[in-house]
Amino acid sequence: MRMPALSVDLRAWVRPALGGLGLLLVFLLGLWAFFPWGAAGELLFARLSLKAAGSGVVVSAAAQEVEGRFAPTLTYRGVRLKTSFVEGFCREAALKLSPAGLLGGAARAVLTLDRGALVLPDRQEAKWTDGGARFRVSPSELRMEDFRLRGSFSADGSLILELPQGTPRGWDVSLKVPDPLDRTLNMVQYLMPLKRTAPGAWRTQGP
């Protein structure tokens, strides 16, 4: 028995589907644009500081401000960190958020770092002039890509953290350091996952 041919008018469902998708996109972009980024930025820094404190690192910032709505930039000034054997400071750190990937459930951001330094126990400084990184965040992981610092102290690398625990799943960072920091790392390398690859050059990988 011959089945009758089915006639389907694609326009009958394609147009409503596209219209619904458009409304969803407008809603999400509106929600993004009017999100309270100032409060979110303070919460983000507070959670970062709390997580760092659990690893023995004290992180603070002198001031924070937010610029823009559609692609907001969270700027932290006078950022400082302190551990048991080294201190650090950065004049300014700016995190620019992007709505790209919003529908896919993965937020994106670009970090820009101003000049800063690591302060060694003998008070000598290993300085950088600028730096930055790119971030992609999904419900299950955070990826830091193209991390870099430039100066007498330089770094390049990447990092993956499992969320929400913040457990490192993998990292690969190469360092080039001045002589004072090279000597300090020589003394503490057995306490960290660090390997000296050449005079003044170090690498850490994991797990």
> Beta strand 195-198 with 107-113: parallel, antiparallel or unpaired?
unpaired
Of 160, 189, 195, 188, the closest CA to residue 174 belongs to 195
Give the E-state strand segments of 55-140 in sequence order: 58-60, 63-67, 73-82, 87-98, 107-113, 116-119, 125-128, 130-137
Structure-block tokens of residue 63: 């001031």
For residue 67, the one-letter residue type is E
Q: What is the domain partition of the chain in residue ranges?
A: 15-114
| Res 6 pLDDT > 50 | no
Containing H/E element for 32?
helix 11-33
Of 60, 69, 79, the closest CA to residue 38 belongs to 69
Q: What's CA 199's distance to the chain center, in Å?
A: 29
Backbone angles phi, psi at 191, to 5 degrees: -95, -5
pLDDT digits (tens, 9 = 90+) for 172-185: 999 999 998 898 88
pLDDT digits (tens, 9 = 90+) for 105-158: 678 899 999 999 999 888 889 999 999 999 998 888 989 999 999 999 999 999
The whole-number pLDDT of residue 25 equals: 53
Cβ(121)–Cβ(86) below 8 Å: yes
pTM of the entire predicted model: 0.77
Question: pLDDT band for position 92 (50/70/90)?
Answer: very high
| Res 9 pLDDT > 60 | no
Q: How far apart are CA 183 and CA 130, in angstroms?
A: 24
Residues contacting residue 166 through CB under 8 Å, at least 6 positions apart: 51, 142
